[in-house]
């Protein structure tokens, strides 16, 4: 236990954890330290995890909860809980290339996502995260009061619909269109179920409008919140290496996968941990 180190990577969020081998069984004491770092820093990183197999990847995720099977993206052969996120050298559009939080289009959105780098480009392909607790805390008291009573409508329909970026045909990913995607209501200000902290819970990919408002009425305030929530002072940036793992809290962060490595291949594997209905 004394060899486990937690090193913050920015002032806003994110920490690298050294001294943990995710391919083995974590003791309860080690798990508790990792879990606390996850709550404290919102996204945690592990280097040199090349020996992490799909089975052990899933086993680590199950320490935090049940695992999600994505409704619109087919999982890895033999491992439906694992998404193979692959961009081939000649493909133009990446997966996750816009600010979002995973699975907010579900009635019970994801707790967190665990991404393992299998093959990375020689440059580019970094991921950014944004701390939505900090974004909320920076709002005026008046706007906080206004938002506290609002509910937002989330759906996969725009992103996974016929014209959505996430539903594009890809050589190495099997996606399907969400032609009749349901809509679900979530509070605009979410209370974190483990820490009690309040944070913004809207995102550009899956939030359509406010409950009881039209899309046109909703757009100015949503755009303001989207611009506010991704300000640089709320973010961190991670440079991937083969074997790196990132585990982020979808209840308190956004993330953005940069698409700046044209002509190179990038291969990642993602496990998503189920969460609870926001309140």
Task: Identify the H or E element spanning 245.
Answer: strand 245-249
In the annotation, is 255 catalytic?
A: yes
Query: Would you call 270 a catalytic residue per the annotation?
Result: yes
Straight-line distance from the first to the last Cα atom of the chain, in angstroms, rounded to the nearest whole number: 35
54: tokens are 């799909």
Query: Are the beta carbons of 116 and 52 closer than 8 angstroms?
Result: yes
**Token pair recorded at residue 267:** 């291969």
Whether 100 is a known active-site residue: answer yes
User: What is the sign, positive or negative, of the torsion defined by CA atoms of 78, 80, 85, 91?
Assistant: positive
227 is an active site residue: no
Cβ–Cβ < 8 Å for 197, 133 = yes
3-class SS of residue 16: strand
CB of 97 closer than 8 Å to CB of 256: yes
Q: Given 102, 170, 186, 190, which residue is catalytic?
A: 102
Dihedral angle, C-alpha 9, 11, 12, 14, nearest 10 °? 20
* Residue 68: closest CA among 58, 53, 78: 58
Q: Outline where the chain has alpha helix (H).
A: 28-41, 54-62, 132-137, 141-148, 157-160, 215-229
Q: Is 62 helix (H, G, I), strand (E, B) or coil?
A: helix
Residue with tokens 């995973």: 102
By residue count, the chain amounts to: 279
Tokens 């020689």 sit on residue: 122
Q: Which residues form the catalytic set? A: 100, 102, 255, 270
């Amino acid at each position: 236990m004394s060899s486990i180190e937690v090193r913050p990577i920015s002032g806003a969020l994110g920490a690298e954890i050294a001294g943990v081998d995710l391919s083995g069984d974590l003791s309860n004491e080690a798990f508790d330290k990792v879990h606390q770092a996850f709550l404290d820093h919102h996204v945690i990183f592990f280097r040199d995890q090349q020996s992490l197999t799909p089975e052990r990847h899933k086993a680590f995720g199950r320490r935090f909860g049940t695992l999600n099977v994505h409704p619109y993206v087919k999982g890895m052969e033999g491992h439906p809980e694992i998404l193979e996120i692959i961009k081939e050298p000649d493909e133009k559009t990446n997966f996750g290339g816009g600010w979002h939080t995973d699975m907010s289009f579900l009635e019970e959105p994801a707790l967190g996502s665990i991404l393992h780098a299998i093959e990375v480009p020689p440059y580019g392909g970094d991921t950014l995260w944004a701390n939505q607790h900090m974004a909320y805390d920076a709002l005026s008291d008046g706007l906080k009061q206004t938002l506290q009573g609002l509910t937002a409508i989330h759906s996969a329909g725009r992103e996974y619909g016929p014209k959505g970026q996430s539903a594009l045909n890809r050589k190495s990913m099997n996606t399907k269109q969400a032609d009749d995607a349901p809509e679900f209501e979530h509070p605009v200000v979410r209370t974190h179920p483990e820490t009690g902290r309040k944070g913004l819970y809207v995102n550009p990919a899956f939030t359509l409008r406010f409950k009881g408002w039209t899309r046109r009425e909703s757009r100015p305030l949503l755009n303001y919140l989207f611009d506010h929530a991704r300000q640089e002072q709320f973010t961190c940036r991670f440079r991937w290496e083969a074997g790196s793992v990132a585990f982020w809290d979808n209840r308190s962060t956004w993330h953005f996968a940069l698409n700046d490595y044209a002509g190179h291949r990038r291969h990642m594997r993602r496990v998503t941990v189920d969460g609870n209905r926001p309140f």
